[in-house]
Amino acid sequence: MPILKQLLSISLLFTLVHSASYAAMPAFVEGQPLPSLAPILEKTTPAVVNIATKSMAQQHENPLLQDPFFRRFFQLPNSPRKRSTQSLGSGVIVDANKGLIITNHHVIDKADRITVTLRDGRSVNANVVGSDPDSDVAVIQIKAGNLTQLPIADSDQLRVGDFVIAIGNPFGLGQTVTSGIVSALGRSGLGIEGYEDFIQTDASINPGNSGGALINLKGELVGINTAIIAPSGGNVGIGFAIPSNMAVNLKQQLVKFGKVNRGQLGIAVQDLTPELSKAFNLNIKHGVIISQVDNDSPAERARLRPGDIVLSVNGKLTKNSSSLRNSLGLLTVGDTANLEILRNGKQQLVSLKIGKRKIVFVDGARVHPQLTGMKLANLSGNPQQHNVKQGVKVIDIATNSTAWANGFRKGDIITRANRAPVHNIAELINAAKSRTSLLLNVQRDNSAFFLIIR
C-alpha cells in the first residue's frame, strides 16, 4: 500500500507539472515542500558581480613603421592607430568592507577601464589591486556601500560527487545560475595555467563565467570558475575552477604586494612511478623523487640530495610533481617550507627558506604565442664563442612548431627586441608584454637579421 501511495504521489506531481492549467510547479505536494536552491541563491548572488572591461589596443602594423624616420617618410601620423576592445566576465566579492573582488587575470588583463555591475543594478568603476598571470587570479577593488561578501569554504574538504552551483555572467546575458557536481579534484597538466590544481565540474560554465563563483549547498565559495574544455565552442560539461584555498592565499599576497613573489627551492623532481618505486625498493603510493639539486640553492644548503622522496610540504600531501609545484607556488620568498622526505627508508623533516626565483630557461609560448615550440635560455659561457655579448639563446625547437615556421632555428640568439637590447629572458618577456608585435634582432652563426613576429 505505501508503494501504491508513492506512485500516486509521483503521478500527481507529473500531472501538476505538465497540465496546461498550471503555470508553475506547486510549492507543496501532499503537504511536503519541494526542494529549491532559491533560499541559498537569494543570499549568495548579491556577492557575484558582472565585470566589463574596455581597452585601447594598438592596431597591428609593421614594427619598422614604429620608427619616427619611416613614419615621416611614409607621411604617417605620429600616434599609431588604436582600436577599442571590450570583454565581459565575472567576479566574487570576498571583502565587503574594503570592496575587494576576486576574478581571473584574463578577465581584466590590459584593461584601461573596468566597470563592475552589482546584483542591484549599480555600476561602479574598479581599480586593479594585483594580478597573477601564472595562476590566472586577480584582485580588483570598488568603492561602494551595502556590499555582500561570500563566506569562504575549505576547498580541501570537497569530495567528488558534492553538489555545486556556478554563478556568473555567461555571454554577457546577465547573472546566470547553473548546478552540477564535483566531477574530479586536483586536475593538472592541462596547459591552461602555469599553476593548476583545478576542481572539475559538470555545472555549465561558458564564456563570461570566468571569475565567477562556484559555491556549495551551504552558500560558501569553493572555487573561482576559470576555464572549460569546449571542442565544439559550447559547454560540454567539463569546466574547471580554481580552489578557494588557492584563490584566497593568492588574494592575500596580491593585496599585500600587488603581485605574487614566488621563489624556488632549487630542485628538479619527477613523479614516483611504479617502476621507480620498485627500483628504490619503496612501498609508498605518493610522493615525488628529487632528480637534481642546484648549486648554491636553498635545497643544497638544506642538504637535500638526488634520490630523496618528498612526501609532503607544510603538512600537505605531495601526490605528484604538479601538487608539489602548486604547494611551493603559494609560498613567497623568505617563507619556510617544511618538507617531509624519505631517505634510505627513513622519514625526515627538512626545513628551508624559499629563495629568490631565477629564470634559467623558458618555453617560447610564455614570451609570445608565435614563439610556441621552442625553449629559450639566458646566454651563458664565454660570450666570444657566440660573437655577441648578451642575448637569449634558442636551445631547442620542434621542427613542426609555430616558432620553426616563423624562421627560428636551434642556436639562434635574440639580441634585441623592438630595438631595445635583450640581456636575459626577463627583458625579453617584458618587451613582449608591452606590444602585440615584436621586431627581433637575431644572431645566427656569423650573420644577423630581423624577424617580425605578430
Q: Which residues are catalytic?
A: 106, 136, 210
- Find the DSSP H helices in 206-343: 244-257, 274-279, 298-301, 321-329
The Cα–Cα gap between 255 and 253 comes to 5
DSSP 357: P
The Cα–Cα gap between 352 and 195 comes to 22
Residue type, 129: V
User: Phi and psi (nearest 5°) for 163?
Assistant: -75, 140
DSSP 127-156: EEEEEETTTTEEEEEE--SS---PPBP-GG
Query: How far apart are the two ends of the chain, measured CA to CA in Å?
Result: 75
The Cα–Cα gap between 118 and 175 comes to 10
Cell numbers standing for residue 12: 500527481
Q: How far is CA 167 from CA 87, 245, 256, in A?
A: 18, 18, 28
Cell numbers standing for residue 307: 634520490
Counting DSSP H helices and E strands in the chain, the numbers are: 11, 29
Instruction: Answer whether 142's CB lies under 8 Å from 124's CB.
Output: yes
The Cα–Cα gap between 364 and 253 comes to 27
Cell numbers standing for residue 99: 570592496
CB neighbours (10 Å) of residue 400? Answer: 7
Q: Put residue 407 in one of left, alpha, beta given phi > 0 → left and psi -120 to 50 → alpha.
A: left
Q: H or E stretch including 2? A: helix 2-18
SS3 of 184, please? strand
DSSP 354: P
Q: Which residue has the cell 595562476?
A: 135
